Structure 1
Amino acid sequence: MNRDVIGRDAEATRRRLLEAATLEFAAYGIAGSRVDRIAAEARSNKAQIYHYFGSKDGLFDAAFDAMCRETLDAVPIDPYDLPEYAGRLHDSYARRPWVQRLATWYRLERAGSGELLQVVLDSNAAKVRAIEAAQEAGRVPTRFAAAELLGLVLHISGFWTANVPEYDAVATGGTAAHRREVVVAAVAALLA
């Protein structure tokens, strides 16, 4: 077998492990996830997980990093149109429901660990700088500091995916389009 085929096989295995891990971690968190289930779902074995990622925590970090990068690529910020940016984030979360679940597990199981993911730090810093520039240009209100405004936009965009089932039970009837309209309108009102 030549090196190109081996390299493609290795990359395909790594990708399958990341995909299976993303779904496993979204469903069970870090502590509840099992590497044997991830390996089986990826048509691989536990040894490959440790080979590629070092540990279950390393696999979670890689899956979370990949999810963040995918979101960043798919939904770049537009600091001059934050309502539409929030709408596109909302759309992304609706298409990929595991994103918010994975982020929730990350907050629950990694908060305070001191281990911060560079991709998230860099992304947030770049978004804050973009909003600051839009504020300095007079295109975005300065009522909130750029970092606060980013946080509000991010939370509003994930509003519909972060609710408890009891809230969803009383907020029935909203179509996907309506939910998106609420997100966009809420961010627009925030900026008014």
Structure 2
Amino acid sequence: MERDAEATKRRLIDAATKEFAAYGIAGARVDRIAADAKSNKAQIYHYFGSKDALFDAAFSDMARGTVDDVPIDAHDLPEYAGRLYDSYERRPWVRRLVTWYLLERADGSQGLVEAVVESNSAKVAAIAQAQRDGALDDAFSAAEVLGLVVHVSLLWAVSLPEYLAVLGPIDDARRRQIVVDAVRRLIG
């Protein structure tokens, strides 16, 4: 029975991730999530309590998946940024989920997603250690370095079409190389 419950939760999180990425928190519908998961709305409320809690579970799952997919290497942040870029390209729904989160939860009124706080704290600690070891410049704090690396890796995902039109054609390999080179120059 426990395995069935875990399988149901997994299907609900997977379906919720798709739904939230497509429609955001406010636009997502639990009936569509339940149907896609081959479950029912009662199961959503039983396992997660609310649509917001289901979003938190889906967002936490995405964060853990990103950490597993792209573990930080504080001694090679340029390549870490490149691997983050690769991950965002392979999983475009991550960018959409993050965008909806920023649009609908940026005020923090729903509280912080603990899995994301833990992930960021561990990354900041790794960067701080690399700075103490002399492997990284300390012109920026470890938290500032992490923010810069993550945001540079998202450069192309958040670029306006008008900027891309001015830039002209650029292939995926060049986009990735720009991310890696920018972080390399940024951290000295």
TM over 0.5: yes
SS in 1 for 2:180: helix
Match of 1:110 in 2: 105
Superposition TM-score, scaled by structure 1 size: 0.92
SS in 2 for 1:161: coil
Spell out structure 1 runs of 4+ moving beyond 4 A.
none
| 1:154 paired to 2:150 | yes
1:142 equivalent among 135, 138, 146: 138
* Letter paired with 1:173: P
Gapped regions of structure 1 (runs ≥ 5) = 1-5
Farther-moved stretch of structure 1 (51-60 vs 156-165): 156-165
Against the structure 1 CA distance between its residues 164 and 27, is the aligned structure 2 distance closer, same or farther, given a 3 Å change threshold? farther
SS in 2 for 1:70: helix
Alpha-carbon offset, residue 172 of structure 1: 4.0
Match of 1:71 in 2: 66
Against the structure 1 CA distance between its residues 168 and 42, is the aligned structure 2 distance closer, same or farther, given a 3 Å change threshold? farther
- Determine the C-alpha separation between the residues in 1 that align with 2:30 and 2:163: 34
Alpha-carbon offset, residue 130 of structure 1: 1.1
Match of 2:120 in 1: 124
Gapped regions of structure 2 (runs ≥ 5) = none
Alpha-carbon offset, residue 178 of structure 1: 1.3
Q: CA RMSD in A?
A: 1.3
Match of 1:3 in 2: none
SS in 2 for 1:160: coil
Match of 1:92 in 2: 87
2:54 equivalent among 59, 74, 99: 59
SS in 1 for 2:156: helix
- Determine the C-alpha separation between the residues in 2 that align with 1:149 and 1:74: 20
1:179 equivalent among 146, 156, 175: 175
Superposition TM-score, scaled by structure 2 size: 0.94
Match of 1:29 in 2: 24
SS in 2 for 1:120: helix
1:83 equivalent among 78, 84, 88: 78
Against the structure 1 CA distance between its residues 44 and 166, is the aligned structure 2 distance closer, same or farther, given a 3 Å change threshold? farther
* Letter paired with 1:47: A
Identity between Structure 1 and Structure 2 (%): 64
